[in-house]
């Protein structure tokens, strides 16, 4: 079964610091990759996605992620975080062998940005 | 316009009761899902459903059952509620049940508390 690991459970940064959140998955075949964000008390919103093509994908709010197939990774980055980026971030994978088109989520990373 | 909506937003109930959560999507999608987010923020798929097929995550107790009156709605029925059912339940939708390059869109979540 596919699995997704997010190594950082809690991250605390000051405003303007750079951010990188790690995400690794276990499936060796074709995958769709996603980062979702959950602001406090709100629902999941899509930040960015990778299906195919350029492994560096850009999302909303200045976020980007790089798919490195050899490392089974899809790390999320932002050059300069803002206080408003305080949220929970979830990496998700949908593997091509996956019955039911189900997303597998990582455990989430809670980001706190200090003003 | 809200793409995926859920009611109620909050649900507080006693152990042993039977309850339902409603989900509606206005995206014209054929496939809908239910996910459970526990107190540690872990998100896990419960069901994938379209009008031809229901795929159930094997870990889901049979007290949980999805009901779909039409393709725009997928309600979640829970019988004999237990304390461990307390969680946030998210509905999602996409066009296809089979794997393809597409995104799932999530509802705002229903926070269930079982006392």
A104–B99 C-beta distance less than 8 A: no
Question: B72-99: string of b/e by CB count within 10 Å (b at 16+)?
Answer: bebbbebeebeeebbbbbbbbbbbebeb
pLDDT digits 0-9 by tens, B49-91: 987 788 878 789 999 999 998 889 999 999 999 999 999 999 9
| Span B17-39, average pLDDT | 94
The pLDDT of residue B1: 60
Alpha carbon of B110: minimum distance to chain A alpha carbons (Å): 10
With beta carbons less than 8 A apart as the criterion, state whether B89 and B23 touch.
no
pLDDT of A71 > 80? The answer is yes
The pLDDT of residue B99: 75
Q: Select, from the ranges A56-70, A91-105, B31-45, the one with the highest average predicted confidence (pLDDT).
A: A56-70
Please check whether residue B45 touches A, CB under 8 A.
Answer: yes
Ranking A91-100, B22-31, B32-41, B102-111 by mean pLDDT, the lowest is: A91-100
Nearest to A86 by CA among A4, A15, A8: A15
What is the C-alpha radius of gyration for chain B, rounded to an integer number of angstroms? 13
């Amino acid at each position: 079964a596919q699995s997704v690991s997010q190594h950082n459970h809690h991250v605390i940064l000051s405003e303007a610091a750079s951010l990188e959140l790690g995400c690794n998955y276990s499936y060796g075949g074709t995958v769709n990759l996603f980062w979702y964000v959950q602001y406090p008390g709100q629902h999941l919103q899509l930040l960015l996605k990778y299906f195919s093509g350029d492994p560096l994908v850009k999302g909303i709010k200045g976020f980007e992620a790089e798919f490195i197939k050899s490392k089974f990774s899809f790390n999320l980055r932002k050059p300069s975080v803002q206080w408003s980026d305080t949220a929970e971030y979830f990496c998700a994978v949908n593997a091509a062998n996956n019955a039911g088109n189900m997303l597998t989520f990582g455990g989430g990373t809670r980001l706190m940005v200090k003003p | 316009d809200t793409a995926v909506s859920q009611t109620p937003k909050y649900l507080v109930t006693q152990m042993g009761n039977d309850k339902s959560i409603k989900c509606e999507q206005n995206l014209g999608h054929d496939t809908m899902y239910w996910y459970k987010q526990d107190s540690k923020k872990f998100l896990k798929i419960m069901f994938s459903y379209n009008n031809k097929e229901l795929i159930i995550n094997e870990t889901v107790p049979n007290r949980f059952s999805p009901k779909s009156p039409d393709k725009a709605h997928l309600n979640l029925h829970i019988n004999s509620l237990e304390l461990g059912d307390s969680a946030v339940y998210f509905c999602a939708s996409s066009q296809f049940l089979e794997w393809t390059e597409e995104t799932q869109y999530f509802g705002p979540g229903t926070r269930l508390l079982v006392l």
